Structure formats: C-alpha cells, structure tokens
Amino acid sequence: MKDDSFYVGYERKAQAPIARKVRIAVIAVASIAIASVFIMAFAQRSFEDSYFEIGKARDFEGVITSRPFPRLLVTRPGTPISYSHYTLTGKGKHGVQTGAREFDGRLVRLRGKLIYRDGITMIELEPDTVVVFPSGERPSGTPEWLGPTTLRGEIVDSKCYLGMMNPGHTKIHRDCAARCISSGIPPMFVVQDPNGGAQAYWLVMESGRPIGAEVIDKVGEPLEIAGEIRKEGDQLFFRADPGTYKRVQ
C-alpha cells in the first residue's frame, strides 16, 4: 500500500511513518558521533614519559662545572659511574651560564626542581640558593670517546624536551625551542630508533664549546649530523660543526 504520509508543522505529533524514520536517523547519527569520540580518543598518540616536579623544590649537594654548560656533579658511591650529572637551568626560558662561572669547580649546596626523562636529569635552579662549602674541587674522571658517527634526528631545547613541555619536540614546538636555546638553555640532538624509543645527546661545538645561536634556524627540522660522541659519566655529548649539518627529508 502506498505511503502518502507527510509532515504537518502545526500537528503535535508527526505521522507514524515519518516519526519512525526520524527516530532511526537520530539514533544512527548519535551512534556515529559516540563511536567517533572513542575512535579519536584511542587514535591519539600518548604523551612521552617526561616530568617536571612543579612546586616540589629539593636540596642538592655537588660540584658545579660550567663547561660546556652548567652542571651539578653529584657523587654516586658504590656504582660504576662516579657522578650523576644534573644540567642546571634558570626559571622560565633562561639559562644560568653567566652566573655559574663563579662557582666553577666548587662544592655547593643548592635548591631546585627536577626535570627528567629517559635517565637525563635537569635542575631548574631556585634563585639565590647556591651556598658554597669551604672546600671543593672538580671531580676527576677520564671522558670516554665513542668515536665518529653520523646520526639523523632533530634539535630540541633540553628543558622543554626533558619535561617542561609535552610534547617538547617536532615542528609544533619549533618557536618555543628557538626562544629557549637563544636564552641560554642547552640544545640536544634527539635520535629516534625503529622501535619508537629515542636517544638524546647534548649538542656542542666540535671543539666542545657550548652551542646556541648557530642552530636556531635548524631547530625542529630533520637533520643529518656527522660528528663524534663523547661520554662523560652517564651523559652523552655529540660534538659537530654546525656548518656541516644537513637537512634531510
């Protein structure tokens, strides 16, 4: 039998065939919307395990070294590695290179907040908390040269990558990273492995000097760098001439 029902706007209820079609359409659209929410949620990439202990300042004791950039070396008795290396940074997008030079080689106590990822740790130094002990000397130790190599990865600013921001890398973070590095925060070179992990290297000049403005225009870009790796304690330093960095697709 032909269905000749039609919608009448001033009627309190739609005719049964029309109401049934509208009901089916509403249920279908609602089901698709709900399913889309779950699909999008599960498709999102999870955040990396990086941490910033905001609001939780700690006390540390160790020896400050300012080369190639400020670090606190804390003794680790009874372990194969004599010292843990904590890179020092200031509040916000500021380094502490200038202020740390007067404490170079001195045994100190200081206060700051931890930033860490994949075994690499940084301290955001609380202002005016460095106390120098009467005596102290630079820790001895022989750096280990791991030889020349060519790596592919990207340049990031260490503070954001280690935990201040998440994610703290790729092109979406380029402008922030450029400002951090230009303000004295040490850059890192991050190399992704096929299994989804990553290895981060402190990036310095071929001579071992700190690097900064020379790499601003290369931050967040896929690069190929030929240089040498030097291991100091539990940290890896990648020495290379910025003029030899190559952009790759």
* pLDDT 10s digits, 126-174: 999 999 988 655 565 678 999 999 999 999 999 999 998 877 778 888 9
pLDDT greater than 70 at residue 108: yes
Q: What pTM, to 2 d.p., does this model score?
A: 0.78
Q: What is the pLDDT of residue 246?
A: 95
Cβ(60)–Cβ(111) under 8 Å? yes
The SS3 assignment for 238 reads: strand
- Confidence band, pLDDT 50/70/90 cuts, at residue 244: very high
Q: What is the pLDDT of residue 44?
A: 61
The arithmetic mean of pLDDT across residues 46-62, rounded, is 87
Amino acid at 169: H
The CATH number of domain 144-247, selected from 1.20.1690, 3.40.50, 1.20.120, 2.40.50: 2.40.50
Query: 209: closest CA among 247, 185, 170, 240?
Result: 240
Query: 228: closest CA among 193, 197, 202, 192?
Result: 202
Domain(s) of CATH 2.40.50.140: residues in the chain:
50-132
The least confident of 39-53, 78-92, 188-202 is 39-53
pLDDT greater than 60 at residue 2: no
3-state helix, strand, coil split of the chain in percent (to 5) is 25, 35, 40
| Buried-state track 172-190, b at ≥16 Cβ within 10 A, e below 16 | ebbebbbbbbbbbbbbbbb
Query: 124: closest CA among 189, 172, 60, 41?
Result: 60
Q: What is the pLDDT of residue 10?
A: 63
Distance CA 218, CA 213 (A): 10
Q: Between these two residues, 189 and 101, which has the higher pLDDT value?
A: 189
- Confidence band, pLDDT 50/70/90 cuts, at residue 248: very high
The arithmetic mean of pLDDT across residues 212-238, rounded, is 93
What value does the mean pLDDT of the chain take? 87
Q: Which two tokens stand for residue 166?
A: 């998440």
- Measured over the CA atoms of residue 53, residue 179, residue 204 and residue 97, the dihedral's sign is negative
Distance CA 83, CA 140 (A): 10
Q: Which fold has domain 50-132?
A: OB fold (Dihydrolipoamide Acetyltransferase, E2P) (2.40.50)
Query: 149: closest CA among 62, 238, 33, 17?
Result: 238
- Confidence band, pLDDT 50/70/90 cuts, at residue 4: low
Which residue, chain included where needed, has tokens 């870009």? 221
Distance CA 149, CA 138 (A): 30
- Confidence band, pLDDT 50/70/90 cuts, at residue 75: confident
